[in-house]
Amino acid sequence: MANTNNFNDPLFLHPSDTLCMNIVTEQLTVVENYGVWSRGILIAHFAKNKIAFIDGTCKRPDIEGATLNQWERCNVLILFWIMNTVSKSIFGGIMYSTNASTVWTDLKDQFDKISGSRIFFHREIGRLTQGNNMISVYFCKLKQLWDGYSSLVTLSSCECSMTCKYVEHDQQK
């Protein structure tokens, strides 16, 4: 049985964990902003120790009782937090869902399109100009775009010569 008084337990609910809490300001609307949105959701849920509901590692208990009730409360809270961060058109498609992990996976399958996001970042990086902005504002915007682009590609962690060459090439932005 989970110890719901232990703040390290994913079933623990802090008094600040409420339905009216807005955990991420970015609203998922299109494929192009999925990367920023999903990163925000992951960071927020990690900070709240609720990432296990997103990735599915905190499974629904089979046995009726306090743990099941607490799991369902947490799951509904996570669902609500996700629903609060998507556009109205996306909201309609997940309104009747009952499992936060399933919603997360479905949204990932639908919106995590690497090639579309790469095109978006390439286009935005190419279009970005300093204009009337201070150099620091321009640099922050440019860095944000490059970081977003870089997050789309997971580099191999092996030490083979081809991977080393690829990493070296990637660093030559």
Q: Which two tokens stand for residue 160?
A: 């083979």
Q: Give domain status of residue 74, yes or no.
A: yes
What would the mean pLDDT of 51-70 be, rounded to a whole number?
90
What would the mean pLDDT of 93-117 be, rounded to a whole number?
86
Number of structural domains found in the chain: 2
Q: Give domain status of residue 87, yes or no.
A: yes
Instruction: Write out pLDDT tens, residues 109-165.
Output: 888 876 556 667 677 777 888 888 888 888 888 888 777 777 665 555 566 676 666
* DSSP helix/strand/coil, 87: coil
Task: Work out the widest C-alpha separation in the chain, in whole angstroms.
Answer: 62
Considering the domain architecture, whether residues 46 and 96 belong to the same structural domain is answered as yes
Predicted confidence band at 96 (pLDDT cuts at 50, 70, 90)?
very high
Considering the domain architecture, whether residues 64 and 82 belong to the same structural domain is answered as yes
Q: Are 27 and 86 in contact (CB under 8 A)?
A: yes
Name every residue whose Cβ is closer than 8 Å to that of residue 163 and which is 6 or more positions away in sequence. 155, 156, 157
Residue 106 clears pLDDT 90, i.e. is over it: yes
Considering the domain architecture, whether residues 148 and 96 belong to the same structural domain is answered as no
Predicted confidence band at 65 (pLDDT cuts at 50, 70, 90)?
confident
Considering the domain architecture, whether residues 107 and 120 belong to the same structural domain is answered as no
Domain residues for the domain of 136 are: 114-170
Q: Give domain status of residue 3, yes or no.
A: no
Of 65, 85, 111, the one marking the end of a domain is 111
